């Protein structure tokens, strides 16, 4: 950094910032796990893989999960701090290195990764036990030091004390002694009635840094000698570089090299330069001849046609109850509806990127890392090193919504392949533009659903058939099961909570060249819509109230659904008279073991219908941090709304037609409704919150629109049918 550059930093923050930058540079070269510690230097007490306590009393919680916005760092640290009785202001969080043994996701098996809204739920007991053991050791150390019975030692807000003898000590003073003690196997976690942090809205650990520009994302990594790589991706999925001309690009000042790369999923060109703008400018000058013999040349309009035809035929059975054929045959009336869902891009705020340095014996990765051990293995293969030699440094991710957990590690492997092709030993930061991020595939798949309901003379549902047509997001990946049914394609449909005696859920799994992947709330992104909208179709047809119909179909086998539905009805005033200018819609859905119901309130204005408010009720078990649960409901609703209103990736002759926020519009401030979140009190184990807020919003909105417009919504996004809101 030149003197001039140093001088631009403002007086107040300068020292901090410079210290931060210097520390950053140094920290990045330390072994994984020690890097980027934002506190807790000189740990003297490390009772387990999740806790370090320094002589300064700073408690560092090691998070095996990524912080990509959902508040995992805060929630995980809250659990540890609660059991430790730590002072919340002295708790810091740090991302764990890749390690499938110590840091595996207990829901996933022997792999480390974040997904399925599982960060809190799979870690809850693990961290309670870790915290309780560490606390017991601090207590034992104090008892020994003061020669008093451990049972007389208390811990409150980071202070260990013996009241009778009026002695007290901070964690830091006891850390060295505690470290010498054996780790107890039987330390009991607290009784929940004693909680002082859990359930109490601890302040997020990352708010300040994220409000002052100090939080570090992959995009912000700066390392000595680092080069930035801009890429040219193929115009169609499956196309490969045949030849390229980089003469003009190489002539640009600052360009170091131009290389072709090839990964198991993508072939392209990378321009490496001293900085992004130079790399990008040069990249625009590269001409490539593509081999498109294996390229996908389909169009989404054709896919819809093909899928609609498939939906007319029986698919593989995902679920069968009773005798649906006989029930349909004897039904007094049969209702049918077809629903269509487009490809969706994740469009996280931070376009995909990754930093890789390949050394002779080792390799380092700096990344907003959602799939640690999958990525570690894939990079190891790419660069030809054992997985243990690939060190991953965890950074914040500017959103992901599933995208950074790619079973093929597509973008991470691409960065590694570029660094390898360039043959450099300095760090290489691969940066995709927004356009590349939008066009690189791994979308929520396009689906067509048909639903059929048989009603008896009284209008009661006696038969239900749900057919789903679309690609599998796990087929061909290590996550794919053996049978013909990809459970993630039918989740939300095959576990329909409503008591219908004869039911069939069928699946047609299609194949094509468009890469697909999970997207916030996975199968429920489409199954919640078709099931909850179709149910409202039936309600309108049989002149029943949507709430009453759902209640009549929920037995006491589903107490959580019943309670959440009642809560949203009560809080929204569902059974009271509504303002004349308002139309309301309701939806209920379970995902990731949490149940969420939402009421959408549309208001008629002179500019058309306005989405005024959403009332949301959720049962997510014990809410470790109710404020963060509310944030996730708000965020989940906003994310689902964006997709419902305008989200669609379309292809024509194999080319993705969208590229940036102008043709892939997302939700903006002026479109965001007011949101009231109500959390069902619960003492059950925590369940998911990052995703379950998303599924109900689109059907709740569509159900309101169907009433307002007298026409059901069968196609998403709404913009495709010309529906807009004020």
Partner 1 sequence: MITLDINGKQVQTDAEPDTPLLWVLRDHLGMTGSKYGCGKALCGACTVHVNGAATRSCVLPVSAASGMKITTIEAVGDSAIGKAVQDAWVAENVPQCGYCQSGQVMSATALLTTNQKPSDADIDAAMSGNICRCATYVRIRTAIKRAAESLA
Tell me the window of 242-250, 492-500, 655-663, 708-716 that interacts with partner 1 (CB under 8 A): 655-663
Is 668 among the residues that bind ligand FES (CB under 6 A)? no
Measured distance CA(1)–CA(17) in Å, rounded: 12
Candidates 33, 40, 635, 688; binder of partner 1 (CB under 8 A) is 635
From ligand FES, partner 1, none, interface partner of 95 (C-beta below 5 to 8 A by class): none
* Dihedral sign computed on CA atoms, order 317, 442, 531, 115: positive
Residues 331-370 touching ligand FES, rule: CB under 6 A, are 349
Candidates 165, 277, 477, 484; binder of partner 1 (CB under 8 A) is 277
Is 69 among the residues that bind partner 1 (CB under 8 A)? yes
- List, in order, residues 6 or more apart from 85 with CB less than 8 Å away: 135, 155, 156, 157, 158, 196
In the complex with partner 1, the residue whose CB is nearer, 251 or 548, is: 251
What is the SS3 string spanning 74-96?
HHHHHHHHHHHCCCHHHEEEEEC
Residues 459-518 touching partner 1, rule: CB under 8 A, are none
Tell me the window of 107-115, 240-248, 276-284, 595-603 that interacts with partner 1 (CB under 8 A): 276-284
Shortest spacing between CB 69 and ligand FES, in angstroms = 5
Q: φ, ψ for residue 385 (rounded to 5)?
A: -130, 160
Shortest spacing between CB 97 and partner 1, in angstroms = 22
- For 305, the token pair is 């046609």
- For 624, the token pair is 């470790």
Is 228 among the residues that bind partner 1 (CB under 8 A)? yes
* CB atoms inside a 10 Å sphere around CB 147: 8
- For 183, the token pair is 């780790």
Helices (H), 150-220: 171-179, 207-211
Q: Are 58 and 107 in contact (CB under 8 A)?
A: no
Shortest spacing between CB 28 and partner 1, in angstroms = 14
Residue whose pair of structure tokens reads 């053996």 in the numeric block: 482
Provide the 3-class DSSP secondary structure of residue 500: coil
Torsion of CA 250, 282, 375, 346, to 10 degrees: -170
Residues 16-75 touching ligand FES, rule: CB under 6 A, are 69
> In the beta sheet, which residues pair with residue 287?
245
Instruction: Report which secondary-structure segment, H or E, holds 23.
Output: helix 11-27
Is 396 among the residues that bind partner 1 (CB under 8 A)? yes
* x-or-dash string of contact with ligand FES, 398-437, rule CB under 6 A: -x--------------------------------------
Is 427 among the residues that bind partner 1 (CB under 8 A)? no
Shortest spacing between CB 462 and partner 1, in angstroms = 40
- In this chain, which residue has its C-beta nearest to ligand FES? 349
In the complex with partner 1, the residue whose CB is nearer, 111 or 641, is: 641
Shortest spacing between CB 645 and partner 1, in angstroms = 12
Candidates 87, 152, 173, 220; binder of partner 1 (CB under 8 A) is 220
* CB atoms inside a 10 Å sphere around CB 627: 17
Q: How many residues bind partner 1 (CB under 8 A)?
A: 75
Q: Are 20 and 53 in contact (CB under 8 A)?
A: no
How does strand 316-321 pair with strand 502-510? antiparallel
Residues 542-571 touching partner 1, rule: CB under 8 A, are none
Q: Are 584 and 596 in contact (CB under 8 A)?
A: no
In the complex with ligand FES, the residue whose CB is nearer, 347 or 616, is: 347
Tell me the window of 114-122, 167-175, 272-280, 293-301 that interacts with partner 1 (CB under 8 A): 272-280
- For 83, the token pair is 């059991």
CA 80 to the chain's CA centroid: 23
In the complex with partner 1, the residue whose CB is nearer, 156 or 349, is: 349
From partner 1, ligand FES, none, interface partner of 397 (C-beta below 5 to 8 A by class): partner 1
Q: How many residues bind ligand FES (CB under 6 A)?
A: 3
* CB atoms inside a 10 Å sphere around CB 315: 20
In the complex with partner 1, the residue whose CB is nearer, 1 or 329, is: 1
State the residues that interact with ligand FES by CB under 6 A: 69, 349, 399
């Amino acid at each position: 950094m030149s003197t001039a550059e140093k001088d631009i930093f403002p007086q107040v923050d300068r020292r901090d910032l410079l210290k931060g930058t210097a520390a950053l540079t140094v920290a990045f070269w330390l072994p994984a796990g020690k890097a980027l510690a934002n506190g807790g230097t000189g740990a003297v007490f490390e009772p387990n893989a999740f806790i370090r306590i320094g002589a300064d009393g700073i408690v560092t919680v090691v998070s095996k999960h990524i912080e990509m916005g959902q508040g995992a760092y805060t929630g995980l640290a809250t659990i540890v701090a609660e059991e430790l009785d730590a002072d919340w202001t002295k708790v810091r969080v740090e991302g764990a290195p890749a390690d499938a043994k110590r840091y595996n996701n207990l829901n996933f098996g022997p792999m480390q990764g974040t997904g399925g809204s599982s960060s809190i739920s799979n870690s809850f007991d693990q961290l309670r036990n870790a915290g309780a053991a560490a606390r017991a050791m601090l207590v034992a150390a104090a008892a020994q030091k003061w020669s008093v019975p451990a049972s007389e030692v208390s811990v409150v807000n980071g202070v260990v004390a013996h009241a009778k003898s009026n002695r007290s000590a901070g964690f830091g003073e006891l850390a060295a002694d505690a470290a010498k003690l054996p780790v107890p196997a039987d330390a009991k976690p607290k009784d929940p009635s004693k909680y002082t942090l859990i359930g109490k809205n601890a302040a997020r650990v990352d708010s300040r840094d994220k409000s002052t520009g100090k939080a570090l994302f992959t995009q912000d990594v700066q390392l000595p000698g680092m080069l930035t790589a801009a890429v040219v991706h193929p115009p169609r999925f499956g196309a490969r570089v045949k030849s390229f001309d980089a003469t003009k690009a190489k002539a640009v000042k600052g360009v170091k090299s131009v290389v072709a790369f090839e990964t198991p999923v993508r072939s392209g060109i990378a321009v490496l330069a001293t900085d992004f703008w130079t790399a990008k400018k040069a990249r625009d000058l590269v001409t490539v001849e593509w081999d498109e013999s294996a390229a996908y040349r389909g169009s989404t309009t054709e896919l819809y046609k093909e899928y609609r035809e498939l939906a007319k035929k029986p698919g593989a059975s995902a679920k069968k109850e009773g005798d649906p054929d006989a029930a349909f045959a004897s039904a007094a009336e049969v209702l049918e509806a077809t629903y269509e869902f487009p490809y969706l891009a994740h469009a996280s705020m931070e376009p995909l990127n990754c930093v890789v340095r390949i050394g002779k014996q080792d390799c380092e990765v700096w990344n907003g890392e959602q799939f640690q051990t999958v990525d570690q293995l894939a990079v190891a293969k790419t660069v030809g090193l054992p997985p243990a030699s690939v060190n991953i440094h965890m950074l914040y991710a500017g959103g992901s919504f599933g995208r950074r957990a790619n079973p093929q590690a597509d973008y991470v492997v691409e960065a590694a392949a570029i660094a390898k092709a360039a043959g450099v030993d300095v760090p290489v930061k691969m940066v995709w533009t927004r356009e590349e991020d939008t066009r690189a595939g791994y979308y929520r798949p396009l689906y067509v659903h048909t639903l059929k309901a048989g009603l008896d003379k009284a209008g009661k549902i006696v038969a239900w058939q749900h057919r789903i047509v679309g690609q599998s997001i796990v087929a061909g990946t290590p996550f794919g099961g053996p049978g013909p049914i990809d459970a993630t394609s039918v989740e939300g449909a095959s576990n329909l909570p409503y008591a219908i005696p004869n039911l069939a859920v069928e699946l047609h799994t299609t194949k094509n060249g468009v890469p697909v992947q999970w997207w916030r709330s996975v199968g429920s992104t489409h199954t919640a819509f078709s099931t909850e909208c179709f149910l409202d179709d039936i309600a309108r047809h049989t002149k029943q109230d949507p709430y009453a119909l759902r209640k009549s179909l929920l037995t006491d086998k589903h107490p959580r659904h019943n309670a959440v539905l009642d809560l949203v009805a009560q809080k929204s005033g569902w059974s009271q008279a509504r303002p004349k200018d308002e139309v309301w819609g309701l939806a209920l859905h379970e995902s990731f073991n949490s149940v969420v119901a939402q009421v959408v309130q549309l208001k008629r204005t002179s500019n058309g219908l306005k989405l005024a408010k959403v009332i949301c009720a959720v049962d997510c078990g014990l809410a470790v941090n109710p404020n963060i649960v509310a944030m996730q409901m708000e965020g989940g609703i906003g994310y689902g709304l964006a997709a419902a209103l305008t989200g669609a990736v379309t292809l024509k002759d194999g080319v993705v037609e969208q590229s940036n926020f102008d043709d892939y519009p997302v939700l903006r401030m002026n479109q965001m409704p007011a949101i009231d979140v109500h959390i069902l009190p619960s003492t059950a184990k925590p369940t998911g919150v990052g995703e379950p807020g998303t599924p109900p919003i689109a059907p709740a909105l569509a159900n309101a629109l169907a009433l307002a417009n007298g026409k059901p919504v069968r196609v998403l996004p709404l913009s495709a049918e010309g529906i807009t809101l004020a």
